[in-house]
Amino acid sequence: GAVVSQHPSRVICKSGTSVKIECRSLDFQATTMFWYRQFPKQSLMLMATSNEGSKATYEQGVEKDKFLINHASLTLSTLTVTSAHPEDSSFYICSASQANAGNQPQHFGDGTRLSIL
Amino acid sequence: QQQVKQSPQSLIVQKGGISIINCAYENTAFDYFPWYQQFPGKGPALLIAIRPDVSEKKEGRFTISFNKSAKQFSLHIMDSQPGDSATYFCAASKAAGNKLTFGGGTRVLVKP
């Protein structure tokens, strides 16, 4: 149980393109999902907390207009990297924990490798 | 401010040996301390987690030791196997479902 799926697993696109990444909880409902960014050989840095039915909460230094988050249902959150540039190239990972189940751990998707040319 | 400090950055262990990774935290509001294992190109997978009301938790070959007064916790991997070669992250949060603060990671290589 507790499977989190991310799509796509890899994206290569031209500079200026907007890219949407989906994060789905496959076998549980998640009122909260988290988006992380990870550079090579580095740790995970929290970008934002995605709340179902409300606005996301962004960490300090993360541009809200650059990284658009939508959490339209209890099983889906999306991250859109708008007008992506080479410096946005990174490994983006989402996580989710089961709603209304009391102190459930976060489970992570397998990440999306974004490469901007 | 790095709230969770992890050491060592890398570790080489012989097959059958013990891998030990240490973490220290600063925020006393943290109440949940998980360890994650990450293979290249994959997301982190939860290994084992502990809360401050216990000093040790063991699951198979993995053991967490927790020292609340010192604000430190560690992961011991017993009988290390080549398949354990991965990056390990400690983390901390105010509750199990809350946002996690990660340590810097430890790359473990288990030599056959």
How do residues B26-51 score in pLDDT, each as one tens digit?
999 999 999 999 999 999 999 999 99
A-chain CB neighbours of B90 within 8 Å are none
Q: Cβ contacts of residue A10 below 8 Å, gap of 6+?
A: A112, A113, A114, A115
Q: How many Cα neighbours within 13 Å face the side chain of A76? A: 8
Instruction: Tell me the mean pLDDT in the region A15-38.
Output: 93
pLDDT above 80 (res A103) = no
Q: What residue has token string 């992250």?
A: B89
Distance CA A83, CA A73 (A): 25
Distance CA B80, CA B25 (A): 26
Question: Using an 8 Å Cβ cutoff, are B27 and B3 in contact?
Answer: yes
pLDDT above 60 (res B1) = no
pLDDT above 60 (res B22) = yes
- Quick check: B13 contacting A, CB < 8 Å? no
CB pairs under 8 A between A and B: 59
Distance of CA B93 to the CA centre of its chain: 13
